[in-house]
Amino acid sequence: MKTNKEQKKNRSWIKILAALVIIILAVFLIAKEFFINDKIDIMEYPFTKEGELVFTDTTGLQKAKIDIEIADDEYQRELGLMNRKSMQENQGMLFIFPFERFQSFWMRNTFISLDMIFVDANKTIVTIHKNTQVLSDQSYPSSKPAKYVVEVVAGFTDKHNIQVGDKLDWFGKAKLDF
């Protein structure tokens, strides 16, 4: 049988261990809240209409018209449609480059499957990539030099029969070419 002295010593150790467990749990919970945040908040920014874009066939017959957001500087072109969770079928983004050259895009941090439409300086479509893979570093290059790229929701080009050789034009902020 244990003496009172031994029993008090054992109770002291139990209290110390319980206090240590509580302290460790508290530190873990605080650290998890402040340092081990599993969820990264990504700011999704809204569509901002800056113009309208019209797709036409080679005879000038209108095939489709969309509202566009413009990416006409380095930062906007790099950001593109990254972090967007949705986009309406009648919306798109027009990328304007300072000069015509071979272009290549990817889908890093892009959650919406897109149709990418590469357009030369004469506003003629030279390449179309359909139904791009979301969140991918796969390269989607133009087959010929392009000065403009239009991104629309996947399936848009099939639905409106947009083809290589078709033309486009736009109105609004994007009318200010380089």
Note the pLDDT tens digit of each residue in 41-55.
567 788 999 999 999
Q: Say which range, 15-19, 108-112, 122-126, 156-160, has the weakest mean pLDDT.
A: 15-19
Residue 97 dihedral angles phi and psi, to the nearest 5° = -105, 155
More confident residue, 112 or 8: 112
| DSSP letter assigned to residue 24 | H
Can you tell me the distance from the alpha carbon of 54 to that of 119, in angstroms, rounded to the nearest whole number? Answer: 13
Contacts of 138 (CB under 8 A, 6+ apart): 106, 107, 132
Dist CA 124 CA 154 (whole Å):
20
Residue 112, in any domain of the structure: yes
Of residues 160 and 18, the one with the higher pLDDT is 160
Contact predicate 113/134, CB 8 Å: yes
77 plus 127 within the same structural domain: yes
Domain count, the chain: 2
For residue 178, the model assigns a pLDDT of 38
Of 96, 109, 76, 102, whose CA–CA distance to 150 is shortest? 96
| Helix spans in the chain (H) | 4-34, 74-79, 156-159
Q: What is the mean pLDDT of the chain?
A: 87
Residue 15 lies in a domain: yes
Which residue do the tokens 């359909």 mark? Answer: 130
79 and 122 share one domain: yes
C-alpha 48 chain-centroid distance: 15
Q: Both 65 and 122 in a single domain?
A: yes
The reported pLDDT for the residue numbered 3 is 67
* pLDDT of res. 23: 77
pLDDT at 40: 53
Q: Tell me, what's the pLDDT at 32?
A: 59
Q: What angle do CA 80, 63, 85 make, to 5 degrees?
A: 30
pLDDT in tens, 73-129: 999 999 999 999 999 999 999 999 999 999 999 999 999 999 999 999 999 999 999
Domain of 77: which CATH number?
A: 2.60.120.1140
In the chain, % of residues over pLDDT 70? 82
Asked if 127 and 161 sit in the same domain, the reply is yes
Residues 34 and 74 in one domain: no
Could you tell me if residue 21 is inside a domain?
Answer: yes
Domain span at residue 64?
A: 51-175
Nearest to 36 by CA among 48, 45, 44, 27: 27
Q: Between these two residues, 150 and 28, which has the higher pLDDT value?
A: 150
Q: What's residue 176's pLDDT? A: 46
Of the pLDDT bands very low, low, confident and very high (cuts 50, 70, 90), residue 8 is low
Say whether both 82 and 144 belong to one domain: yes
Q: Considering the domain boundaries, does residue 46 fall inside one? A: no
Residue 55 shares a structural domain with residue 112? yes
Is residue 80 located within the same domain as residue 156?
A: yes
